Amino acid sequence: MSAVQQTAAAPLAAGFQDPVHDAQGCFRAIMNAMARPGTRQAISAGNLKPPAPLTQVAAAIALTLFDYDTPIWLDKPLMTSDAVKTFLRFHTGCPIVTEPVEAAFALVSAPVSMIPLASFNQGSAEYPDRSTTVILTGQDFGSHPAVSFSGPGIKDTVSFGTGPVPPVFWDQVIANNRQFPRGIDLVFAGQEALSALPRSTRILKAEV
């Protein structure tokens, strides 16, 4: 690379400051969120400065879960960013695929215009765990219509709200969860926290 090219190229954004400790903390938050659907799990990602439109919390999830054996799919805003693809490939080694059905994980930076959940790998009766985990970024847990959950990890029911999501999103989630044990898992990446909705969770009421 020439000196001119080096000057023009954007510097690669750094990963975790303490890779082992930071990844362990993020992994615990993800596992707690999966075990307790609809709860918010705090996550510290302040040291990460990923290229836009990848958010800090989404970057922390990616650096924790992605590796050489996890093909990932990116929505259009992420896929068209060379800086995002370079960041993910450098720090995780993950292969990036163009077909959502081939992905172990999917990153969605523009949830309102996301593709249908049925487009992703739903797993099979023999291997339901091979379904895609879809990560929605830029989520706000504060002021959105509530959805009631029940199922494993929930004592009675839990009320949960997040957005932005498509108008038909919760109908898609209901259809997805009816497939259990097949179906995708969902992770909602907020500003300083994350929540999750595993495919075993039942949607009781969606006030949308």
Q: Per residue in 188-207, pLDDT tens?
A: 999 999 999 999 999 886 55
Quick one: what percent of the chain has pLDDT higher than 70? 93
Would you say 89 and 96 are in contact if contact means Cβ atoms under 8 Å apart? Answer: yes
Q: Residue 73's beta-bridge partner residues?
A: 97, 106
Cα separation, 173 vs 117, whole angstroms: 8
Q: What is the dihedral of CA 73, 74, 75, 80, to 10 degrees?
A: -140
pTM passes above 0.85? yes
Instruction: Give just the sign of the alpha carbon dihedral 65, 129, 72, 140.
Output: negative
Residue 174 is classified by DSSP as: H
Q: What is the pLDDT of residue 128?
A: 93
Cα separation, 105 vs 135, whole angstroms: 7
Q: Could you report the per-residue pLDDT of 100-150, keeping only the tens digit for each?
A: 999 999 999 999 999 999 999 999 999 999 999 999 999 999 778 788 989
- The number of C-alpha atoms within 13 Å of 6 and in the hemisphere containing its C-beta is 3
- Domain 14-206, CATH 3.40.50.11310 — does that match? yes
Helix (H) or strand (E) holding 97: strand 96-97
> Phi-psi bin for 123: left (phi > 0), alpha (psi -120 to 50), beta?
left
Residue 88 is classified by DSSP as: H
Per-residue pLDDT band at 78 (split at 50, 70, 90): very high
Query: Helix, strand, coil: what percent of the chain each, to 5?
Result: 35, 20, 50
Q: Could you report the per-residue pLDDT of 9-51, keeping only the tens digit for each?
A: 567 888 787 778 888 999 999 999 999 999 999 998 768 999 9
